[in-house]
Amino acid sequence: MNSNNKVACPLDCYDACQGQMIENNIKGSKEHKTTNGKLCVNFANLLKEKNLEKAIYEGKEISLDESLNILVDKLKQTTPIKTLFYKGSGNIGVMQSVTKNFFTLYGSTLTRGSLCDGGGGAGIEAGRTNVINPPLEKLLNADVIVVWGRNFSVTSSHMYNLVKDKTFVTIDPVCTDIAKKSKIHMQINPKTDYELALLLTRFAHMQDLEDKEFIEEFGNNADDFFDISRGRPVVSYEATTGIPLSLVNDFFDLIENKNVAIMVGLGVQKYFEGSQIMRCIDSFAAFMGYHKKEAGGVWYLSNSAFGYKKPFEIKGNNKKVSIPKVDFGSYDLVFIQGANPVVSHPNTKKVIEGLKNSFVVYFGTTLNETCEYANLIIPSTSFLSKKDVRLSYGHELKSISQIVKEKTQESLSEYELTNFLLEKFGFEKLKDEDEIISYFENHKPNLEEFETFEFLDELDIEPLYKQKTQDNFYFITAKNKNSLNSQFSKDDFVYLNSKTNFKDGDIVNISSKYGNAKFEVKIDDDIKENCAFFFAGNKNANYLTPADEDEDSFSAMYQEVLVQIELS
């Protein structure tokens, strides 16, 4: 029997599960704590995908060798800086990043920042240097879990399963699945989480609940932070956040003398000042001393590569562009790997116009909306037929991928493509694949905790509610249970509360200052009445979003926008 039977789920998700091939079926591993013997609906969806098996040039199938020759010729004919390397997160195995090694040496323009968690990460770094999560054990030992801008039971269903019997509090404008299971749901107005964090800080102080020892030993500027929270009358927060003070009282009753875990998600930071908002929440947690308790703490999307050397990263002085601001049309050649910018990148109109004006190479496993604008499509090998390791941004466990299925001849892994290009251009080849993988497999990073915590001491945020009128809506976009960003099932609806007076099936024109598109309405009273909700992967939602960066981290800010809705 083939002893290679491990399969890591490659999908961009907190859980990073470990599977095992047993008699031609892949089962969730029982030894991997978060996987706990089960795999999810999206893993099943992934197995059903129809993988690309042929290269395509200008709409016609060609052989893999021909496609590689075209790529090499094009790269040789183009000024390197006029090429863009754009990598998405369709597969987030460690080995996916080796391609950057070639494009760095070759001299391509690279991207910086993120379409995902960058703003929040910058906020955490400002307070405690590294974006790392506490060990999973501390979550398992917490009493109360505060789910803050995260759809916990949907976007990390395995982590949720380990703690599902605990007491939950949810802070979310949407009455999510986890909000329904929570003792307290604070249905907050979008982009007011920093105000709630300040209000909680104020209440904590009034009830003498702050952790004075933590503040004394680790905290810098805690007084300044507290002063910010004192700047406004307590009652004024009710109207802006939409949260009754009575709920805040209930919250403190619930958490008194309890070990508290705060699970923060993307929701709080999809804004221009996302970093400050996250830092405000993290500062509240520090005020309570949650970062250094026996159990509990603050979880976010951690830097999963923290504490690992980068065995294939090359330092270059390549030009870098902020990812949300990328103008595809200003490059002669764009190389897109594992991404679907036509759906997932902000401002779809600008993306499509740009792609039409460039020679687009798509390197991926499946055909997606971006392929429509690709001149050359090179098939990437399925995750079942290439080696990899998965680190996780949700917890400290890893999973391994071995080759469990023979690959088709007409595809290449990221490792193979990189070595091919390195050789063609006379650069040094990559280290041995097994050597790289075994380093990641065996190295245990030292997740050192911080020695000082810098509290937020100045706050400058322009709330969206100042521009909010009776006639516009907050734009909310979040993940779907049955899809992984733009992969798998499609949902192009706009979800609205019935109090908006729209009806199921209405066709509406939605516009923002960045663009407009048509949507079919679905009525859903889980959505707050001042919000218009769209799932990630909705092919029209990003016509409405800004192709611009947040203030701190070159990252997208999908929700820094209000929209108008009219019957069409």
Ligand X SMILES: Nc1nc2c(c(=O)[nH]1)N[C@H]1C(S)=C(S)[C@@H](COP(=O)(O)OP(=O)(O)OC[C@H]3O[C@@H](n4cnc5c(=O)[nH]c(N)nc54)[C@H](O)[C@@H]3O)O[C@H]1N2
Window 26-55: residues binding ligand X (CB under 6 A): 42
CB-based contact 395:159 (threshold 8 Å): yes
Question: CB under 6 A: which stretch of 29-37, 312-320, 364-372, 427-435 binds ligand X?
Answer: 364-372
Question: CB under 6 A: which stretch of 186-194, 252-260, 449-457, 493-501 binds ligand X?
Answer: 186-194
CB-based contact 337:364 (threshold 8 Å): yes
Question: CB under 6 A: which stretch of 149-157, 206-214, 436-444, 506-514 binds ligand X?
Answer: 149-157
Q: How far is CA 345 from the centre of its chain?
A: 12
Q: What, of ligand X, Mo ion, none, does residue 344 touch, CB below 5 to 8 Å by kind?
A: ligand X
- Comparing C-alpha atoms, which of 259, 249, 301 is closest to residue 145? 259
Cβ at position 102, least distance to ligand X in Å: 14
Break the chain down into helix, strand, coil percent, rounded to 5: 35, 20, 45
CB-based contact 400:126 (threshold 8 Å): no
Calpha distance 468→194 (Å, rounded): 18
Nearest CB to Mo ion, comparing residues 68 and 116: 116
228 lies in the binding site for Mo ion (CB under 5 A): no
171 DSSP β-pair partners? 148, 186
Count of positions (residues) in the chain: 568
Q: What is the Cα Rg of the chain in Å?
A: 24
Q: How far is CA 526 from the centre of its chain?
A: 23
Question: CB under 5 A: which stretch of 112-120, 211-219, 490-498, 559-567 binds Mo ion?
Answer: 112-120
193 lies in the binding site for ligand X (CB under 6 A): yes
Calpha distance 521→533 (Å, rounded): 10
Cα dihedral 362/367/369/375 (nearest 10): 40
Residue selected from 71, 95, 98, 115 as contacting ligand X according to rule CB under 6 A: 115
Residue selected from 95, 116, 280, 321 as contacting Mo ion according to rule CB under 5 A: 116
- Comparing C-alpha atoms, which of 525, 557, 473, 463 is closest to residue 240? 463
Question: CB under 6 A: which stretch of 11-19, 25-33, 226-234, 465-473 binds ligand X?
Answer: 11-19
173 lies in the binding site for ligand X (CB under 6 A): yes
Nearest CB to ligand X, comparing residues 148 and 287: 148
Q: What, of ligand X, Mo ion, none, does residue 558 touch, CB below 5 to 8 Å by kind?
A: ligand X
Q: What would the two tokens of residue 444 be?
A: 């245990």
150 lies in the binding site for ligand X (CB under 6 A): yes
Question: CB under 6 A: which stretch of 227-235, 246-254, 339-347, 438-446 binds ligand X?
Answer: 339-347
Q: What, of ligand X, Mo ion, none, does residue 343 touch, CB below 5 to 8 Å by kind?
A: ligand X
544 lies in the binding site for Mo ion (CB under 5 A): no
Quick one: DSSP state of residue 432? P
Size of the site for Mo ion (CB under 5 A): 1
Quick one: DSSP state of residue 31? S
536 lies in the binding site for ligand X (CB under 6 A): yes
Cβ at position 72, least distance to ligand X in Å: 18
Q: What, of ligand X, Mo ion, none, does residue 149 touch, CB below 5 to 8 Å by kind?
A: ligand X
Handedness of CA 33, 38, 41, 46 (dihedral sign): positive
Calpha distance 25→66 (Å, rounded): 35
Q: What would the two tokens of residue 121 be?
A: 């990460």
Residues that bind Mo ion (CB under 5 A): 116
Report the interface residues with ligand X, using CB under 6 A: 10, 12-14, 42, 88-91, 115-117, 148-151, 154-155, 171-174, 176, 188, 190-191, 193, 265-268, 337-341, 343-344, 363-366, 368, 380, 383, 476-481, 483-487, 536, 541-542, 558-559
